[in-house]
Amino acid sequence: MSQRFSESLKELNRTPWQACTQHRFINEMFAGTLDDAVLHRYLVQDYQFINQFVALLGAAIASADHFAPRVTLSQFAAMITSDENTYFIRSFDALGVAESDRHLPQLSLPTVQFQALMLEAARSQKYANCLAVLCVAEGLYLDAFDRDGAVLPPRFEHAEWIHLHANDFFRGFVGWLRAELDRVGEGLDPQARADAADFFARAVALEQNFFDHVYAV
């Protein structure tokens, strides 16, 4: 049996993928030793993805080839704009993040580049391109945070971020994303498959840059 499209893309990008899922940031969050200044920088920048990320979900909904995937993507969009958004606000309060940094921070280069990639995928109006970026943005976090037997750290800023990316709903959604990319990928011509693979690869590289840059002062 030939390798599934989503698996082949992960394999092609195995080195940067593993660099993310085993990153210092992830390990320190699990250990509860993540420096507040690092978490502050991470959350401030990551919060700036939500607007463009929801737009990417909207583009995936619009370009999907039938109704069922639109329902699944809409349900996930509802979670992003509720539970995850609330986590950011509560964490900003706990970390004393200024209003200016919550809404109009100076954007780092990896943030700007990832926003641009999401916008590019959305504007392509191609379902496979949107799925490729979503498979990285969500699948990479599942692989990083879903650790068997892991004990959650005591602070909610760490524990809830882990739980948001390691629960049955999220596991189901990522599994669906990967299966959906596999399904759509079967019908793509070689150029369209190459385009989706390019979006996937660029997304993984930018995720690694994003994790790295929150330690650079």
> The whole model's pTM is what?
0.96
For residues 217 and 204, give the distance between their C-alpha atoms in angstroms, rounded to a whole number.
23
The residue type at 203: A
pLDDT score of 2: 66
What is the model's pLDDT at position 207? 97
- Cα angle for residues 61, 66, 69 (degrees, 5° grid): 50
Closest CA to 27 of 210, 155, 162, 137: 162
CA distance 126 to 175: 20
List the structure tokens of 70.
């639109």
Q: Tell me, what's the pLDDT at 84?
A: 87
**Tell me: the pLDDT tens digits for 101-122?**
999 999 999 999 999 999 999 9
Q: How many Cβ atoms from other residues are within 10 Å of residue 60's Cβ?
A: 28
* Residue 51 pLDDT: 86
Structure confidence at residue 117 (pLDDT): 98
Task: Determine the Cα–Cα distance for residues 208 and 26; give it in Å rounded to an integer.
Answer: 12
- Kindly report the backbone phi and psi dihedral angles of residue 107, in degrees, each rounded to the nearest multiple of 5, phi listed first: -80, 135
pLDDT score of 217: 72
Model pLDDT for residues 18-42, shown as the tens digit of each residue: 999 999 999 999 999 999 999 999 9
Per-residue tens of pLDDT for the chain, all 217 residues: 468 999 999 999 999 999 999 999 999 999 999 999 999 999 999 999 988 999 999 999 999 999 999 999 999 998 888 888 899 999 999 999 999 999 999 999 999 999 999 999 999 999 999 999 999 999 999 999 999 999 999 999 999 999 999 999 999 999 999 999 999 999 999 999 999 999 999 999 999 999 999 999 7
To the nearest 10°, report the CA torsion of 160, 145, 118, 176: -100
Contact call for residues 79 and 169 (beta carbons, < 8 A): yes
Instruction: Collect all residues with Cβ–Cβ distance below 8 Å to 30 and sequence separation of at least 6.
Output: 147, 150, 153, 158, 162
Tokens matching residue 184: 């759509």
> Quick one: pLDDT at residue 83?
83
Residue 128 confidence (pLDDT): 98
Q: E strands, 46-195, where?
A: none
